[in-house]
A and B are shown apart, each in its own frame.
Chain A
Amino acid sequence: MNTVRQLDRVVIRFAGDSGDGMQLTGDRFTAETAKLGNDLSTLPNFPAEIRAPAGTLPGVSSFQIHFADTDILTPGDAPGVLVAMNPAALKANLPDLPGGATIVVNSDEFTARNLKKVGYQANPLEDDSLEPYQVHAVPLTSLTIEALSNFDIGKNEAARAKNMFALGLISWLYSRPTDTTEAFISKKFAARPELAQANIAALRAGHAYGETTESFAVRYEVPPASLQPGTYRNITGNLALAYGIVAAGVRAKLPVFLGAYPITPASDILHELSRHKRFGVTTFQAEDEIAAVGAALGASYGGALGVTTSSGPGIALKSETISLAVSLELPLVIVDVQRAGPSTGLPTKTEQADLMMALYGRHGEAPIAVVAPCTPADCFDAAIEACRIAVTYRTPVMLLSDGYLANGSEPWRLPDVSALPDLTVEFASGPNHILDDGTEVFWPYKRDPETLARPWAVPGTPGLQHRIGGLEKRDGTGDISYDPANHDFMVRTRAARIDRIEVPDVVVEDPEGEADVLVLGWGSTYGPIGAACRALRQRGLHIAQAHLRHLNPMPANLAEVLAGYKRVVVPEMNLGQLSAVLRARFGVDVVAYNQVRGLPFTSQELETVLEEVVKNV
């Protein structure tokens, strides 16, 4: 009988070759953990190559999950457990492991040839290089093949089930159920029942191996977290964002038109939306990024909710069309799932270096609204907010997600659909102006006095025929105008229209109310910043945290908030873009903390940075 030990939190990283099925293994472990009621956060990390040469360092794919009995904010800085399916996975991930961490390796893969491939002079399982860790060398491949000897499948197919064996073993080690994974396998291999049975057998064999072998003296339990009551599901940022767009279409009672060109890490939004035609969603895989945004704008002109999704390189190509949308004053939602740049950069790695492009990356004075989600689940609400601004103010809105949010996941408390914002819009239906001679006419650029939005007059509306274009327009009539004073007025009005967008005040979290230092973030840094703040407060230090969802316009109370602290620290995964904006707009000399490694901040590094500022203020 094993000893069972209670833990409050665990970070596990599954790592293997790209072909080893580590993302699937991680997903399944996540699903079981969610069912058990732990709070969790995940971070996949995979190479840009579809299949890098097997067994090499560039081919290593990993999936990290952090789960706990309390609510958590990040996928965890350092894994306490590493499952390494080959020497490359061990070598690539070892530097991230703290001393004392548990390592489970597939010893079958530690052959002379595989060791040489990744530059190991000696077998690390046989020398003392892994002494600081608790190593469990398990011949996962041969055990799996043996367990499946009675199945009528080839040896290679049997060997491929080793990820399920590993999942079974780790599920046993952390007392996770496996029944929903069994159901999942049956469904996935429905066309080949013998393969389904074999994978289930491998999963069970891994579980039984943990139970019977003496190698594992202790198993662990992590009790459920006490989360807010409600129904939950696990969700990635890209999925939540796609659902947000579907929901916005339903709540606006508008058909959604997505124009997109495939690009990492945004393509999954196109894939997802292409499945939801029953909600009136049309997806158009365009010939290029420019056509994608052009078609979305054309659809908006026709009265649909036009959306385009991409990443940095694609957004750069869309820039001219976004400026046209600024001039036409039509709704358009542009999703930028940021990745590490410039150019192709690190396509599968995260960064938030497109902020300046979102704010300023167009010709002429072309302001647009910019909104950023802060967690994977928050992508749902942020997408609805972006659509709300677009249809209410007839403007392009940039939604700035990133690779970390896109592929990361967390539990999501399902919203009450009827309580989502009502985005109903009214199209123009008749004349809106009376000339001096009493004639009733339609003026396409006569604005709503509150929002400064112009009427959305869709083709097909009788009597409202009008022409719009990229040339400067006379205020009101929309006729072409080269008048200098009119251009000055229109440029200022387009800017005022964005500045007037109503956005909620930024909320400061400062439990004791005694902080001198404010840490201000935006986007996906919310998790690690929040975790660092909690850690500091637990140690008796005072720090205030605020996070910007609206990057343009910024909340009305921001100037006051910034002025209320002796120091403002702004951590960003870029070289200081928000910092530069804050200095320029508010004259605040913020402390910028920046890294661009293609990875999210660890809460540990932020804790160190913030502690330094707090203690020296």
Chain B
Amino acid sequence: MSDKLSLPIQPLKAKDFKSDQEVRWCPGCGDYAILAAVQSFLPELGMERERICFVSGIGCSSRFPYYLNTYGMHSIHGRAPAIATGLATSRPDLSVWVVTGDGDALSIGGNHLIHALRRNVNLKILLFNNRIYGLTKGQYSPTSETGKITKSTPYGSADAPFNPLSLVLGAEASFVARTLDSDRKHLQEVLRAAAVHQGSAFVEIYQNCPIFNDDAFEVLKSPESRDEALIRLVHGEPIVFGPEGRHCVVRNGWGLAVAETADVAESDIVVHDSTAADPSYAFALSRLSGDSLDHTPIGVFRSVRRDTYDSIVRQQVSDAQSDGAAEAELAGLLTGSDTWTIL
């Protein structure tokens, strides 16, 4: 189990990452697009398939590992980040990915998600957010809008939803991004950035559930509305969006606000900086989109370098280890300092 990553002799292709299992999502599910995007992205990692491992929880999205010809574990509800923490900490030679959903990661597994991010374990976490429970057939999720009518909330949900990116930024995530299932190019750009990040990378993927919450992200996809709604973040560039760059993002009190580009001085337009040390800026970006998604930034919100839990822990272990024979040292440990001998 060496630390070095070796390159495969033959460059791999998307088809090399397809498993022999029949894909069983509903027709039209956004997961198909994400799977295809991931399969065609994985060769870019330049790693052998056996060095890649996908760990998932429970939910529609969590069937993902079965469809990839890598190592994979379909675990239990909400616990994938915990299981992946053990794997990634003990196996630095692997590229470990977590696939999860809004219920899996933010409801039953909320605790593991925030602690994995706080520790900055070297994991790539892909959260497929469809704002609904699909596998259990249509209950509201922790990202569903307040008032949402579902099977379990016939009078409307009374819950206030999480904003996943605000949450993970509060949990000290070192890499935070958002993308769309339907925008393969953007999705793969974000995956690329996540893959090279040292530490936890959190990627929220808006994903359509055609059965229980169809068109939840239509405002971001339909040609009529998407240009007005989508804010594509590019590091180092002023944040302008809309037809002909009509809108922009400016500072507003403690946060950010959308303004008309024509009404503000060019110097007042915020230049996107995903490397800002203070997460408050990324947090302010995450607050631009409300329940209605009318101003939704996508792209990399935050990407900063911070020591990873697993590398610190491994360093402690390797610093403590010596070349001496373990058995001789074991005898010394067991003996301790206070012994007596009976002849």
Residues of chain A touching chain B, judged by Cβ–Cβ distance below 8 Å, are 31, 34-35, 37, 180, 226-234, 243, 246-247, 250, 255, 257, 259, 276-282, 284, 286-288, 290-291, 294-304, 306, 320-321, 324, 328, 414-415, 417-418, 459-471, 479-480
Contacts and interface: CB of A to CB of B under 8 A. Distances in A.
Contacts of A246: 330, 333
Interface string B320-334: 111000111111011
Given A231-B340, A282-B89, A298-B84, A466 B330 contact: no
Select the residue from B55, B74, B313 with max chain A CB neighbours within 10 A. Answer: B74
28 contacts: A31-B338, A226-B342, A230-B342, A231-B339, A231-B341, A247-B330, A247-B334, A250-B330, A257-B86, A287-B115, A288-B111, A294-B75, A294-B79, A295-B83, A298-B90, A299-B86, A300-B86, A301-B83, A301-B87, A302-B87, A324-B75, A417-B327, A417-B330, A462-B48, A463-B50, A465-B49, A468-B72, A480-B21
Contact of B111 (A255, A291, A304): A291
Given A288-B111, A301-B83, A278 B48 contact: no
Nearest to B80: A294
B158 interface: no
Contacts of A460: 1, 50-51, 71, 91, 93-94
Given A279-B330, A466-B71, A232 B316 contact: no
Given A298-B83, A462-B48, A468-B72, A234 B338 contact: yes
B67 to A, nearest CB: 9
Contact of B90 (A257, A278, A465, A469): A257
A234 B338 CA distance: 8
Nearest to B51: A460
Given A34-B338, A229-B343, A298 B313 contact: no
A133 B72 CA distance: 70
Contacts of B334: 233, 243, 247, 414-415, 417
Contact of B74 (A35, A287, A469): A469
Contacts of A291: 79, 82, 85, 111-112, 115
Sorted nearest first, the 8 A-B pairs with minimum C-beta distance are: A469-B74, A298-B86, A295-B86, A294-B82, A277-B320, A291-B82, A298-B83, A459-B71
B43 to A, nearest CB: 15
Nearest to A298: B86
B50 A459 contact: yes
A459 B115 contact: no
B66 interface: yes
Contacts of B317: 255, 277, 280-282
A465 B83 contact: no
Nearest to B94: A459
B70 interface: yes
B50 A324 contact: no
B86 A302 contact: yes
Nearest to A292: B82
Contact of A321 (B79, B89, B326): B79
Contacts of A479: 21
B244 to A, nearest CB: 48
B73 A468 contact: yes
B267 interface: no
Interface in B4-49: 19, 21, 48-49
B341 A295 contact: no
Contact of B326 (A229, A250, A466): A250
B61 interface: no
A420 to B, nearest CB: 9
A414 to B, nearest CB: 6
